[in-house]
Structure 1
Amino acid sequence: MDASDPDADATEPTDGELACFEAGIKFGALYHQFAGTPVSPESAPSLETAIEESIENQPFCEDVSVEILTEKLAAEIDHVPASDSEGELGGGSLAEGEEASSGGYTELTGRFLEVEILVEYEGVEVLTRMEMEDGYPLMKVESVD
């Protein structure tokens, strides 16, 4: 739809709005497909590539950049007490004499991710980014060009 067309139906979404919708679809797929995936600092690079290549297969997706924050992963793994090996208690400090018992991995969540997705739809580019806000991974539109 051309927003400058006076005969255009005002209820039809613009190309920019459709591009933003497409970006949202990509983020929904990315997050809900990969959240909970077992990940370690050693497996993070291959998982980054798998996520990027998977999402880039979707229509209108031009680029995906995924960084798994391996330092945060390592800290999470090192601080999961044996009594909380599944992360149900949110991790925390190890009790004196207690060893970490995470199996050397943790589950992928938004707090371990930095993601950018670029979508191009009908000549409109939308750059989106995932950021943590108040402990929740929020997907945001950075720009529409």
Structure 2
Amino acid sequence: MDREKAASDRFACTERERCIFETGIKLATIYHQYVGTPFNLKSVSSLEEAISRSIEVQPYVVSAKVTIDRSVIPEDVDEYSYLSLTGDMIDAVVKVSMGSTKVTAEMRYDSELRYPLMYVSKIE
């Protein structure tokens, strides 16, 4: 069975539209899967890496880079010094390629909107 053909046959859209759709799924996964994850200064790099790698194993992903705003992490640490990840802490760039289409999408906190905005930043 050709799983790619079977999947493609289910989409009533162009390759370009599907590539944009797939990119949106990846950003939504970052937000909805990981918001609420506890972390601290010692674990923030590992969390960034885990999120990035978990997105990169998904279909069509070329690269995923997630960074977490370290300015909100307390430096005076004790047993109770940790945070739960929120959308406004996440900065993500995901690149997806499907056929001849390449899409870059990003998630960044937009202070004017006061919202962690997900958007398409480039289509090739």
TM-score range, shorter chain: 0.7 to 0.9
Q: When the two structures are aligned, how many residues end up with a matched partner?
A: 112
The residue identity in structure 1 corresponding to 2:33 is Q
RMSD: 2.1
Match of 1:122 among 99, 104, 115: 99
Does residue 112 (structure 1) correspond to residue 89 (structure 2)? The answer is yes
- Superposition deviation, residue 101 in structure 1: 8.8
Cα distance between partner residues in 2 of 1:102 and 1:113: 24
Match of 1:138 among 114, 117, 122: 117
- Structure 1: which 5+ residue stretches go unaligned? 1-11, 79-99
Q: TM-score, normalised by structure 2?
A: 0.82
Q: Specify whether residues 111 and 74 from structure 1 end up closer, same or farther in structure 2 by C-alpha distance, changes over 3 A only.
A: farther
Instruction: Indicate the percent of aligned positions where both proteins have the same amino acid.
Output: 35
Runs of 4+ in 1 over 6 A off after TM superposition: none
Larger CA Rg, structure 1 vs 2: 1
Q: TM-score, normalised by structure 1?
A: 0.71
The residue identity in structure 2 corresponding to 1:50 is A
Say which structure is richer in strand.
2
Cα distance between partner residues in 1 of 2:122 and 2:48: 23
The DSSP-based 3-state class of the residue aligned with 2:59 is coil
The residue identity in structure 2 corresponding to 1:25 is I
Q: Give the structure 1 partner of residue 54 of structure 2.
A: 54
Cα distance between partner residues in 2 of 1:48 and 1:111: 14
